[in-house]
Chains A and B, each alone.
Chain A
Amino acid sequence: MGIGLYIHIPFCLKKCNYCDFISYGFKPALVKAYLTALDKEMALYSNSLPPEEKQLETIYIGGGTPTCLRANELYEVLKACRHYFTWPPEIEVTVEANPGTVDLEKLTVLRRENVNRLSLGVQTDSDNLLQVLGRQHTFEQAVEAVCLARQAGFSNLNLDLIFGIPGQTLTSWRECLAKTVNLSPQHVSIYNLQLEEETPLWKKVKSGQLKTCPEETELAMYEQAIEFLKDNNYIQYEISNFAQTGYQCQHNLRYWRNISYLGLGLSAHSYLARCRFNNTENINTYLNCLTEGKLPVSRVEFISKQVEMQETVFLGLRLMQGLDLIKFFARFGCCIEDVFTAQLKNLLYLGLVEINGLSLRLTKNGLPVANFVFREFV
């Protein structure tokens, strides 16, 4: 069994108002140092991992905004992957991109280097709301980015959307969905805006300058999206993810199926050999470690069987097809009903989950309160 490879590019043109990801403003010198360090990190793993754990099954380059790198820099990153790992042709290779940071040259390079999936942070169709979010682009630029991607030869496109933005209404959200579907992406992700503490957006809401959407509206937006996308042949396969047949994101599926992945770059997370570990979130520490030839790992957690079972369940339940009970048995050597007897009994009684054939999954009622269900298992 191979692994999924995640590479974090922690740079953006400018920080968005709601963002609490690890991302820094774009500074050429810093980027250069970072890419050198990243190369070293790949080398370290390449020297130490057994061959089967260098066998890539998916690649995902995320951020930040990977596309704020220059074409040749992106090329170098991809070349390094090819050099240090075993990269079979035809595997899913995703790059995250933001409108306003892509041009035909970059996209062509990506496509040529076997990147076959582009994930675009469109977020919303309204320029006003884009401003509320503090995004560095307009909707027009998003449309343009989609066209460029097509031109460059991408045929697997994801568009990220956010709902529940202060000022957004049910009607405007519907319009946003319609315009998105009009761009005919293969995949759509929708996220409910979360106010992360200390972000500019959070401060504005706290000080009363902006008002969040009422909970009922957010729920209605969510339900509307599910219905609208379904009507347009996007199948919901995960709580926040919708895809045309055959276009589910293979990389993200690994997370939900709770199988191995290696994360490289600042703050990246990995799950290998029943260990979860992650890199430091401090860019200087990251650079220094690699200069000294050390892995920049800041935390390692061994996952016990018990925890692995818990995680497998609450991650698996995120998928609409649910958790495969046979696979669960094969993986852990016990029946889920014996491990989580009381929890299952209660949740089945409340009608929040169902056992359908050989899978355990959220019901329609369970979906909007999924966290409640997940909590039962930790």
Chain B
Amino acid sequence: MSEPILSGHRLKKHFPVRGGFFGRAAGTLRAVDGVDLEVMPGETLGIVGESGCGKSTLGRVALGLLPPTSGEVRFEGRDINRMGRSARKTLRGDMQIVFQDPVGSLDPRMTVRQTVTEGLLIHDVSSRREREQRVVEMLGRVGLDSTCLDRYPHEFSGGQRQRIGIARALVLRPRFLVADEPVSALDVSVQSQVLNLLVELKNEMRLTYLFIAHNLAVVGYISDRVAVMYLGTVVEQAPSALLYERPLHPYTMALLSAVPQAHASGRRKPIVLQGDVPSPVDPPSGCRFRTRCPIAQQVCADVEPPLVEHAPGHLAACHFPGESMPNAAVRAIG
């Protein structure tokens, strides 16, 4: 068995919450609250969950863009937060990120050429000719021709901007890419183009992905394994097919039931969870999902369920894994 390219152990990222008079610390926001992470070389690990559950924070911590409050992140065995300057710089070239917002993540005053070249300059790719060559080649790979070079972001559609963002991230030939909701803002037909592109590039460039999204069908499609997050923790993790076939955690079941099922035979009765996601400043005792869980019992409030391996590679944090939903939660619609 090979070594993980990226691993995180008991990762936490807490943010101080200021409030009241004089901006005193009023509490702690537990954005990521004890997550173990292991990504194998060449693998795509998907992270799925609703907004605010800590996906982006986890992605940033994994890249070393945010230092963890506790726990450590290792890239090829080395703690990325204890590296010297030059090692860190090399690391920046090895690990890259693509963001959700194809508008906000590109500098409107920079041409495509400048945007994609920037990383090469920072990493001292020496000759001007070589830089030019690599930029043109990379743009070609993401499906943009050289007539785009001297144009500005606003001249492009959302899908094309996302391609520019991907070219910028991949021009340094990284080995590890965090894709943070790269298709969430795109129309379905454009979304499929970008997803196909990410799959092709992964195969061609032998990349490893941490793929973040809130749509379970999208994450499952592209990922080998999927981790489901809720309020800063991983509640279930499994190979994609297994997660679909045998979800163990009630939250996963609810997410699955809400996923696009365009075909009549595949459509499911949605499981409707009550209420909103609680605040990460003051998460519920015991199981964090219990306030919305249709099958919660007293033990769920008293004891935090650990993330336990139920089948090879299939982990869930629930006192009643795999239990079926009561009818009241399953809304008969249509």
Do A and B actually bind? no
Q: Which residues of A contact B (CB under 8 A)?
A: none
